[in-house]
Amino acid sequence: NLAGSPGSTVTVPVRIEVTEAGGVSFQAADYALSFDPARFAVSNARVAGTLLAGFNLVAEIDNSAGVVRVSSYAANPVALANG
């Protein structure tokens, strides 16, 4: 559970768990984040942190439905180890 004051920024961590024994090559992903639109609204989505540094991000924010749909992609893949 995440919390924030009105007008503040809330960082939502997204975890990618690799189950392939030899790891994977990660170059793009589509995912959706759900939230309670009666409690807050989303105004922006961006990449933060080291795994997706250099990735492009396209976000579709639907505050009525309480969903943020995100596509992230990069020109070059990133190697992710198992675990």
Tell me whether strands 56-62 and 67-80 are parallel, antiparallel or unpaired. antiparallel
Nearest-angstrom CA–CA distance, 54 and 78: 10
Tell me the whole-structure pTM to 2 decimals: 0.78
Give yes or no for residue 51 having a pLDDT over 80. no
Selected residue with higher pLDDT from 67 and 14: 67
What percent of the chain shows pLDDT beyond 70?
A: 99
Give yes or no for residue 59 having a pLDDT over 80. yes
Q: What pLDDT score does 1 carry?
A: 76
